[in-house]
Structure 1
Amino acid sequence: MAKGISEQDVHNAADDIVGLGERPTVERIRAHLGTGSPNTVTRWLETWWQTIGLRLRQRAIEATVPGVPERVANLSQRLWQAAMQDAGELARGQLDAAQRGLEDRERLLKDDRATMAREIESSQKREHEAQSAAAAAVAAGELLSAQVAQLSTQIQDLLRQRDGAYARAERLEQELQSTRRSLVEVNAAHEEERRALQTHVRAVEDRAHAEVDLQRQTVRTAEQEWGRERAGLASALRQSEQQTNAAADREQQALRRLEGAVTRANGLEAQLTSLKETTSSFAEALRQGQSSPPGLTDAGKPRRAVKKTRRSTPRTPGVGSGEA
């Protein structure tokens, strides 16, 4: 919407249009100025019409001053003629309307007088009623006058409201322009924030990718270390199994030695039993030999020697078994 025109701009444009011999209108003034809101032009055009008489008188006074340029005088003359023509047309229109109203009233009054005459002639009662009707008509006229005054007041209020509406409309236009500018600034700020956010997101993504790569490298390193540890554990397990097998072999060998030792112990026990029986036999023989003749005693010496030999013979296996 166009803005920036003043009351003086509209008045000067109307003067120029009148100087061209045309009637100033809203469309002609806007075309002459090349801008202007229709509401604003209408308001200032009304003030131009209200002050046209004063302006024409001022132009007439200026025209009487010596040394006034001819173009100015001609413009004042055309303006005055246009104003007089418009005023004459307006006055003739009002006069014609008033004359038609008077004629209508005269016809009505003639009809009323005839009716009243007939009513007076017919009855005094009707005359009284006619007087009452006339009084009611007077009251109605007064009521109509009051209503007309009220309507005039309402018209003035409406004019003031219209002017206020024009002012509010211009204020709203200014607020709209300010809001549009604010919206542009907000959009620019949002665009800047969006670009900053995109930059931040890209930086975060880059850091995340770097961390992911680092974690992947760490996982690969851990997997390699775990592979080495698992190989070491497998090797240790094999060595442990070999050691366990060797221990089992040694245990079997020990069991076999133990079985041999038990067998030798059983043999030694049997020999010990035999020795005990032999000792008992020699003891019995000795007891019998002490009661025998002397010759038998000498014969018994070899038996003692044999007996000692038998006693010494079993001791040798006992020593060998201890070594085993």
Structure 2
Amino acid sequence: MARTGIQYADVRRAIDELIARGDSPSVQRIREVLGTGSFTTISEHFRCWRDEREKNRDVPPPRELPEAIVSLATDMWRQAQDVANEGLAHYREEANREVETARQEARKARQEADNAAQRESALAEHLRHREAHIEGLGAQLAESRTQQEQLQSRSDSAEQARRALKEEVAERDARLEQQARAHSDNVGQQRAAFDRQLAEEQQRNETTEGKLLALLDGLRQERADDDKAHQKRVRQLEARLEKSAGENQRVRQELKAARDAESQWQKRHGQLEDRLLEQKKAVEEAGSEMDRLQERLSRAERELEQERERYRRECDWQASLGQRLEALQKQVATLPAQPPRDPGASS
């Protein structure tokens, strides 16, 4: 049913204007003349105009003519009727055949006109759907722009967050680097102190060991000398004992004194052995202390390695965050400024 926006009179005036300009009327041209209106409404009025024109095709338009022209036309009409009546019988059959052929062609033309009207109606319906689709695309475009603005806002927020996080990471890196330097300096100082203390302990141990070895060599040399002297004296006493039995008692006393001296020497040698054992124990304690210092040094080196590992993890986390932010920026940059075209828009 035609809408009330465009009336039949409007379409007829537009058709008259087109005919006056020498253009063949069509739905598109009528709409261009009117400047508005749906294709369906214009098509229906255009079909009514064609039907009316077809019905009034043989009716001449009324005109006011002068009386002389009317009289002359009447005489000519009578003469033409006479001539026509003479040949009417001959041409009537042929005229009937031509009339029938014309009627068939007219029916065919009407059928073609109806088909064309149906096509125009279908085209108008399709255009209505296309207009609705275009309106939908406009809504999608507005929604896409809104989403793009939201994504841009999110991207700006993410960029601000990235900058703030970058600054925080830089500050944390600076703190970690400062702590690492301080820890490294502290470990270096401790290690230097441990090295100095270890060198001092080693120097003391070497000095003590040298003294002990020198004392032990002296004791051994002294014992060897005492053994030689004792054996010499024993031999002398034995010789004297053989020479003089009277001197046996004195020799025995001297032998006893020598044996007592040997006992004292053995006692002194035991004391020196005890001192040597004490020195060895001190050396072992110094070695244990050196092992403890070495363990403390190893523990400090492990703590430094842990600090370096935490620093590397912080750097990896910062790099991962930077990659994620770059990926988000690329995703926002690749968003289309307009919605994708509908595949059926060109049909």
Q: TM-score, normalised by structure 2?
A: 0.51
Does the Cα contact within 8 Å between 1:290 and 1:297 map onto a contact in 2?
yes
**Taking CA–CA contacts closer than 8 Å with sequence separation of 6 or more, which of the two structures ends up with the larger relative contact order?**
2
Native 8 Å contact 1:29 1:41 kept in 2: no
* Aligned residue in 2 for 1:278: 229
CA deviation after TM superposition for structure 1 residue 284, in Å: 2.6
Decide whether aligned partners of structure 1 residues 308 and 157 sit closer, same or farther in structure 2, where only a CA change above 3 A counts: same
Equivalent in the alignment of 2:6: 4
1:323 counterpart = 2:286: no
One-letter code aligned to 2:184: L
Identify the residue that residue 43 of structure 1 maps to in structure 2.
50
Say if 1:306 and 1:89 are closer, same or farther in 2 by CA, change over 3 A.
farther
Give % identity: 12
CA distance in 2, matches of 1:146, 1:48: 21
In 2, the alpha carbon distance for the partners of 1:90 and 1:310 equals 192
Contact 1:289 1:296 in 2 (8 A): yes
Counterpart in the other structure of 1:224: 175
CA–CA distance in structure 2, aligned partners of residues 258 and 89 of structure 1: 166
Count of residue pairs the alignment pairs up: 245
- The answer to whether the aligner puts 1:205 opposite 2:192 as a matched pair is no
Helix, strand or coil for the counterpart of 2:108? Answer: helix
Determine helix, strand or coil for the equivalent of 2:208.
Answer: helix
- State whether residues 26 and 41 of structure 1, in contact with CA within 8 Å, keep that contact through their aligned partners in structure 2: no
Q: Does the aligned pair in 1 maintain the 2:241–2:247 contact within 8 Å? A: no
- 2:109 aligned with 1:158, yes or no? yes
The whole-number CA distance in structure 2 between the counterparts of 1:231 and 1:182 is 70
Q: Distance between the aligned counterparts of 1:179 and 1:193, measured in 2?
A: 20
Question: What letter matches 2:176 in structure 1?
Answer: E
* TM-score of the pair, normalised by structure 1: 0.54
For residue 291 of structure 1, give the secondary structure of its aligned residue in structure 2. helix
Q: Deviations over 1:129-180 (max 9, x none)?
A: xxxxxxxxx9xx9899767634531232113322442454355346435533
Determine the C-alpha separation between the residues in 2 that align with 1:50 and 1:150.
17
Amino acid at match of 1:46: R
The 5-angstrom pairing of residues 27-42 of structure 1 reads 27=17, 39-40=46-47, 42=49
Unaligned runs of 5+ in 1: 15-24, 54-78, 106-137
User: In the alignment, is the contact (CA less than 8 A) between 1:40 and 1:166 conserved in 2?
Assistant: yes
Q: 1:277 to 1:51 in 2, by over 3 A?
A: same
SS in structure 1 of the partner of residue 7 of structure 2: coil
1:295 to 1:148, Cα distance in 2 relative to 1, 3 A:
same
| Alignment pair present for 1:26 and 2:33 | no
Counterpart in the other structure of 2:279? none
Which residue identity is paired with 1:323?
R
Q: Distance in 2 between matches of 1:239 and 1:43?
A: 111
Bigger-Rg structure (1/2): 1
